[in-house]
Structure formats: C-alpha cells, structure tokens
Structure 1
Amino acid sequence: MNDYTISDISIGMKESFFVSITDSMMHKFLDITSDENPLHLNEDFARQRGFNNKVVYGMLTASMISTLGGCYLPGRNCLIQGIEIKFVKPVYVGDVLEVIGEVSKVDYDLRYLEIKVTIKNQNDQKVLRGLLRTGVIDA
C-alpha cells in the first residue's frame, strides 16, 4: 500500500495494478448486491443478446477504482469524494484487467486530486474510463 502525501503528488504521476476477474468475485458481488440480472448469470441469455458470455457486473469492474485510490494513488491517505465512470466494452470472467490512474489535477491548498482512470483488458482494449476525485488526508 502506498503512502503518498499531498506534497508527493504531481500532475502526470501514474500508478497501476492488475486484477484477474474470477467466478468467485462474481458470486461475492451477487451476494452483496442481490443483482440477479440474467445478463450476469445466464450464458445463454447473454449470448442471445450479442455478448460472448455472461457479462461481469460493471460495478464490480468499477469497484477497482476504490483499490486504485485507497491502495495505490494516493494510497492510505485517500478519501474518495467522487467517481465518474463510462463503461466502454464488456468484461468477462477470466479477463485480466490493468487499472491505471494518472493524476490530472492537484490542488495543494485544498488537498484535492483528480485522477484520470483507465481500465484495459488483456488485449489492451479499454473497458472503462473515468475520473476519481479524492482528498488526501495525510497529517
């Protein structure tokens, strides 16, 4: 876990990590949310609607933004204030995602960051783009 303070951070700074999407993650997300939409649970249903397989919950993919802020950029001093997301392509179980954050704005007086977020799959295809707004609560 990173421990960046506001003074450590500058525009253009980047952090990233990889995550493999598993069936177990899908089951846990279902348990937490009770989202029983068949697009996420039924392969035939998903294929009939033009997808390659069951589609991973978009918010499961988006939840990796919390990990990006809370563990990587800025890390333990993160206090998420807002997130904007756009789903670009579907994610499937077995995909390996790279979650990338790049600082696009810093306000040192307000201890505030904006981080451009990109999530790509193993084929280097963008599956999500977004913006993370966070405070930096270092002492």
Structure 2
Amino acid sequence: MTTGPHPSGGYILEELSPGMVAVKDVTVTEDRIQQFAEASDDFNPVHMDEAFASKTAYRGRIAHGLLSASFGSAVVGTILPGAGAIYLSQTLSFHKPVRIGDVVRAQITVAAVDQESARVTLRTEGYVGEDCIMEGEAIVRVPRRRRPAKA
C-alpha cells in the first residue's frame, strides 16, 4: 500500500513499519540535467553534448545516474520517512540509462525498523515505465518524537 506524506511533514520512528511504500514521479528535463551539472560540477559530455554522446554505447545523451537517484532522496526527505530523516548510507546499482523526457518513478519501501538505534532500512528503486533503472538500500536515522509546536 502506498503511503502519503504525514500531516506533520515526517513520520516518527514508532509510526514506521516494514512494507510501507512511497512513490514520486519526476520528469527528466534539459533544465534538470543542466542544473544538476552545475550543482555537482559534472559536465561529462555524455550528459551535456549530443554529438559526443551519439558516438557512445548509449547512442545519445543520458541523465546523470545520481540525478535519478536524487529523486529517491526527495521521497526520503519529504514523504517517507519525511522531514527529520537523515541519510546515513546508500548503495546503488544502475541498470538502464535515463534520457531527457523519461519519467522516473522513485519508489521507497521500508524494509526494517530498528527501534533501539532509531535507524530504518529502506529499499530504494527507480523505474522508467516497467523497467527498473536502479535499485539499492538506504539506512536513515529517524526522529523518535515530534518537536513541540512553537507557541
């Protein structure tokens, strides 16, 4: 079952359970690739130059792998677990390239909750259509309780 954003902005540790899933669809655009290149300082011509990229095994430009992976980070930071979640680690395997115009579906699934350490293991996946373009595992720290509302 797909989980939506928590009204508070983030789930606390005690509200999380294995099997919770959240998704976000993001379209890869020329602007996103350009902005990611500027933010990361990665101007590899396979991402930026169609003439160069057309001569590679990809036969055209592809998006940065970590741009696509960042869509999963958006789910973790804004939906599940949401506000207050802090990344501790992330593994990733990339399976297929992503191109301008593709819609990436970032899917995050709670795999395990460790109440003692306040750490949550997440399965991270990205799809374009039915094709899995990337997968991995993240470990995040999640708050145990909400901060009191300011008066």
Q: Give TM-score, length-normalised by structure 1.
A: 0.93
In structure 2, give the amino acid aligned to 1:45. F
| 1:19-65 CA distance string (max 9 Å, x none) | 11111111111111221211111112222112242010111111122
Q: How many correspondences in the alignment?
A: 138
Amino acid in structure 1 at the alignment position of 2:56: R
Q: Tell me the percent identity.
A: 25
2:141 aligned residue: 135
Equivalent residue, structure 1, for 2:93: 86
Spell out structure 1 runs of 4+ moving beyond 3 A.
Answer: none
Q: Which protein is bigger by CA-based radius of gyration?
A: 2
**What CA distance in whole angstroms lies between the structure 1 residues aligned with 2:40 and 2:16?**
35
SS of the aligned residue for 1:48 comes to coil
Matches within 5 A, 1:49-68: 49-68=56-75
Q: Secondary structure at the match of 1:64?
A: helix
Instruction: Give the alignment partner of residue 107 of structure 1, picking from 94, 101, 114.
Output: 114
CA contact (8 A) 2:94 2:135 kept: yes
2:21 is matched with 14
Gaps of 5+ in 2: 146-151
| Alpha carbons 2:14, 2:144 under 8 Å: kept | no
Structure 1 unaligned spans of 5+: none
